[in-house]
Structure 1
Amino acid sequence: MKDYLCEDTIAAISTPIGKGAIGIVRISGRKALEILKEIYRTKSGKKKEEFEDRKMTYGVVVDDKGKEIDEVLAVYMKAPKTFTGEDVVEIHSHGGTVVVRKILREVLKRGARLAEPGEFTMRAFVHGRIDLLQAEAINDLINATNEMSAQVAVNQLEGKLSQKIKKIRDKLLELKAFVEVGVDFPEEEVEIMESAQVKEKLNEIKRQIENLLKSYKDGKILKEGIKVAIVGRPNVGKSSLLNAILNEERAIVTEIPGTTRDVIEESVTFHGLPLRLIDTAGIREAEDVVEKIGIERSLKSIENADVVLFVIDGSQELTEEDRKLVEKLKNRGNVIVVINKKDAGLKVSCKDVKDFKACVEISAKTGEGLEKLAETIGRIVMFEPEREIGSDEAVISNERQKQLLEKALESVNKVLNTLEGGYESPEFLSIDIDEALKYLGELIGEVTTEDMLDIIFSRFCIGK
């Protein structure tokens, strides 16, 4: 478990392990500057006792025997105006696994401990530098797979969603203040808000929460991408379609049926749509154990996909394997039939496939029809291609945020139902408003538990 009192000093490598121009070791805590002084030397070999705040210094790092490890640039950043709110030191060395690990080892010898995943960001939260939504946004930004998901994360990091949640909380707090006048001064002639006014304000709060909840579907798509499974019998052009969308030779394409034995997954922005493409093994009666496993995974991908692209080779008549897949897929509302090989002349067209809501004729070889395919995918998931994310747009993008907003909405509805039923007891109204405030507080991190924070920050990489 992380140190939520932040009493010790933590350190980690904050750049990816492996070959690279630069490697960074980050230290945060009370002993950060002291550790830097112990391991840092000027180029002439002298200790340095004074480090100017936020000024890069050129020198070397030495081990406990005084032997030089590497030439470095070191910077000391004084609390509280740092990312973590603590004293922070960064040591920038040459990249590579050996050198950076050696420097980290010396830092740990001097009294720091290895940071756990997300612990630097957790300390930023504990010290009030960011709220919980902004902390989650940092992780989303690191893991963004397309420009739109990155923009959503940037908006959250800048506090767009937090501001909306805080405004809703402020309105609820104002209502609570009026309601509690009736609780605290029941015998006094104190002017309190009329029931109709309370309902009006609650309905406005309800609309704002509902609008945020509506953004979840788009937010999830932007963050994770639309899961698109490409299925069909062997050798109909599934891998060719994957390569055409990716605009690269990612999957092996041959005339031999069954070349794709496993599920291939790739992320791409396709005509403005963030997609998670899943190229599956051709579905047929398996000829060996390996192919059978691949086909089982293909069938599982169909179950988990947001959209299924059912690829048919239009240059030849439908086969028995095609017809079996038609029967298997025809009752699904998320299936797009893709008639491929239009460039070779079509013996099967969309007119011949009547059991599905959507059908597109394409040529994976020439790219004809791919733009229409993107539009059709967007329509299936009710997502607008080429969507622009506004600089002020607040979007919820994970299940934790969705669940807490749903609970807050449920509590607001309880207050409205109480008023509609004519039960205007201030005590009951206050309890339900408190409940809504609690859930909104959990959302931004004003109400937390260590277990909840452990779950959130454990998803981060070490060094962030």
Structure 2
Amino acid sequence: MGSTDLIAAIATPPGRGGIGVVRVSGKNLSPLIIKIINHIPMPRYASLSRFLDEDGSIIDQGIALYFPSPHSYTGEDVLELQGHGGPAVMNLLLSRCLSAGARLAQPGEFTLRAFLNGKLDLAQAESVADVIDASTGEAARCAMRSLQGEFSRVIDDLVQALTDLRMVVEATLDFPEEETVVLPQADVCSKLAAIQSQLDDVLTAARQGSLLREGVGVVLVGQPNVGKSSLMNQLAGEETAIVTEIPGTTRDAIHEMVEIEGVPFHLIDTAGLRETDDPVEKAGIARTRAAIGKADLALLLVDCRWGVVPEDRAIVDSLPPKLPLILVSNKIDLLAKVPQIESGEDGPLIYLSAKTGAGIDLLRRKLLEMAGWHSEAEGIFMARHRHVEALRESGEYLRNALELSRQEAQLDLLAEELRAAQQMLSSITGEFSADDLLGEIFSRFCIGK
């Protein structure tokens, strides 16, 4: 991605709307601005302007906003043209910007330039996309905290603590005869333990944020006609799946996102697992197997009137061995049983009625618990898989360093573990980032952001 030429893109979603925005960024936009609106607007003030085509005809009339460098989103000159939000008008206006000297921006290129120009660090840049993509209110609030720099400040504090410790350790290596720079072993252990404890707290908060961002994939499995579709409808709060007394009604996987305490759960109602000669039902069962392979959690429904029969046991045995399982004994309304939860052989066992809703709250709480959600957690950050992995790996290096410091091992080994821990943490905010990582991150952004 180039960083010196002018780039332009439509910054509002496709379709019709009251307002549409075309954004332009680059060094020295003045010639382009003159070509399009025939004057340079007062910086950061809305200016009613006519947007002119090459022949001087009026494409549209709207608001022009000019943000001179460095006081802009990208750190470069930025022009925003706010016109009527019709696709034809927006495309004409974008084409005019391109003919005036800009090129079409690549996905995420505006935010990439903000990162390269020091307006955002990498964690903040990623949270821009997370704010846009947030599927729940809690996820949006969490992403905004990261965008405001809360996550980055915590990482920076950890990096600074490691830097201070490395300075003394490496000074001791370089000047072993100087007592003034030698850090006693007890102090090294104490400082390392404090940094490790702080990192563990950050890792816990990041894992909670990762749940909010990624959500939890939950697959509903069981024999035909045990109530999977009814349970799906109860959790979703609406009729998303067809419910009949005919076994095999669900032929294809039905996807639905539900929110439980702000955490998105991606439910997949699947075809009943059984032997069949019906080619359509066979295809549905094959898709069920594929959905199970991608799930984070499985709900196995059984009919409480019969309990776990051999066919159910066969389903349990066919599941991936490490896939967490909740056994749901459905249709308690037919036996006048009360909702309850027990510890089963294969995982928690919940008695409920998908028809009446009795026991659904028990299931919701258990889903949150097994997903690893802690509602009382403070300071949750919107974290991605790479953030969690970087924190985890940094923690491993710190544990190695703590062990080395206790054993009075060679200082050069201790210094190397501290260096590796610091570099892993710095990769979160982008201080150490490979070009291919940046390309992967920003290519996932929408065009115009």
Q: Note whether the superposition's TM-score is higher than 0.5.
A: yes
- Residue 331 (structure 1) shift: 7.1
Partner of 1:284: 274
| Aligned twin of 1:202 | 192
Moved more, 275-284 or 357-366: 357-366
CA contact (8 A) 2:292 2:319 kept: no
2:36 counterpart residue number: 39
Going from structure 1 to structure 2, the CA distance change for 1:172 and 1:316 (only over 3 Å counts) comes to closer
Q: How do 1:234-253 and structure 2 match up within 5 A?
A: 234-253=224-243
> Matched residues in 2 for 1:191 and 1:50: separation?
59
1:415–1:360 Cα change, 3 Å: closer
Does the Cα contact within 8 Å between 2:176 and 2:182 map onto a contact in 1?
A: no
1:400 aligns with 386
List aligned pairs for 1:217-228, cutoff 5 A. 217-228=207-218
Q: Indicate which of 65, 80, 85 corresponds to 1:95.
A: 85
Query: Are the structure 2 counterparts of residues 65 and 194 from structure 1 closer, same or farther at C-alpha, using a change threshold of 3 Å?
Result: same
Are 1:18 and 2:8 an aligned pair? no
* Matched residue, 2:4: 7
1:433 aligns with 418
Which stretch has the larger CA shift, 374-383 or 318-327? 318-327
Q: Flag the 1:433–1:350 CA change in 2: closer, same or farther, 3 A.
A: closer
Structure 2 matches for 1:61-80, cutoff 5 A?
61-80=51-70
The whole-number CA distance in structure 2 between the counterparts of 1:352 and 1:148 is 31
Which residue is equivalent to 1:44? none
Equivalence for 2:222: 232
Call closer, same or farther: CA 1:343–1:78 in 2, change over 3 Å. Answer: same
State TM-score, norm by structure 1. Answer: 0.88
Q: What is the rounded CA distance, in whole Å, between the counterparts of 2:49 and 2:71 in structure 1?
A: 25
- Out of 127, 138, 142, the residue aligned to residue 152 of structure 1 is 142
Query: Structure 1: which 5+ residue stretches go unaligned?
Result: 41-46
Corresponding residue to 1:29 among 23, 26, 30 = 26
What SS does the corresponding residue of 1:337 show, helix, strand or coil?
strand
Match of 1:410 in 2: 396
Q: TM-score, normalised by structure 2?
A: 0.90
Give the Cα–Cα distance (whole angstroms) in 2 for the partners of residues 270 and 461 of structure 1: 28
Establish whether residue 294 from structure 1 lines up as the match of residue 284 from structure 2: yes
Distance 1:65 1:207, change over 3 A: same
Which residues in structure 2 correspond to 1:86-125 (within 5 Å)? 86-125=76-115
SS of 2:15's equivalent in the other structure is coil
Identical columns (%): 39
Question: How far off is 1:157 after superposition?
Answer: 1.2
More displaced stretch, 155-164 vs 395-404: 395-404
| SS of residue paired to 1:71 | strand
Provide the rounded CA distance (Å) in 2 between the counterparts of 1:167 and 1:317.
54
Specify the alignment match of 1:304 in structure 2: 294
CA distance in 2, matches of 1:289, 1:406: 46
SS of equivalent residue, structure 1 residue 129:
coil
Aligned residues between the structures: 449
The 1:364–1:415 alpha-carbon spacing in structure 2 relative to 1, beyond 3 Å, is: closer
**1:70-123 deviation line (CA, Å, top 9, x unaligned):** 222211112211111111111112223222111111111111111111111111
Distance 1:321 1:417, change over 3 A: closer
Q: Alignment partner of 1:325: what SS? A: helix
Contact kept in structure 1, 2:139 and 2:262, CA below 8 Å = no
Q: CA deviation at 1:222?
A: 1.6
CA distance in 1, matches of 2:233, 2:36: 51
SS of 2:191's partner is helix
SS at match of 1:451: helix
Contact 1:316/1:347 (<8 A) preserved = no
Q: Give the conservation status (yes or no) of the 8 Å contact 2:142–2:381.
A: yes
Using the TM superposition, give the Cα deviation of residue 332 of structure 1 relative to its aligned residue in structure 2, in angstroms. 6.7
1:37 deviation in Å? 2.3
Structure 1 residue identity aligned to 2:77: D
CA contact (8 A) 1:226 1:306 kept: yes
- Describe the shift of the 1:256–1:32 C-alpha distance in structure 2 as closer, same or farther (beyond 3 A): farther
Shift of 1:226: 1.9
* DSSP 3-state at the match of 1:207: helix
Deviations 1:208-244 (A, max 9, x none): 2233233444232221112111112223322222222
Residues 357 and 129 of structure 1, relative CA distance in 2, 3 Å threshold: same
Residues 313 and 63 of structure 1: CA distance in aligned 2, closer, same or farther (over 3 Å): farther
Q: Is the 8 Å Cα contact of residues 339 and 348 (structure 1) preserved in structure 2? A: no
For residues 301-320 of structure 1, give each alpha carbon's deviation from its aligned partner in whole angstroms, at most 9, with x where no partner exists. 22332221222344678777
**Distance in 1 (alpha carbons) for counterparts of 2:377 and 2:217:** 20
Say whether the 8 Å CA contact 1:268–1:275 is kept in structure 2. Answer: yes
Q: Deviations over 1:428-464 (max 9, x none)?
A: 4433333322222222111222222111111211111
1 CA distance for matches of 2:276 and 2:36? Answer: 62
Q: Does 1:454 align with 2:439?
A: yes
Deviations 1:173-195 (A, max 9, x none): 11122223334434445343212
Q: Does 1:212 align with 2:209?
A: no
Which amino acid is the alignment partner of residue 124 of structure 1?
A
Unaligned runs of 5+ in 2: none
Aligned to 1:43: none
CA 36–344 in structure 1, closer or farther in 2 if over 3 Å, else same:
farther
Task: Quickly say closer, same or farther: Cα 1:265–1:447, change in 2 above 3 A.
Answer: same
Q: Which residue of 2 aligns with 1:378?
A: 368
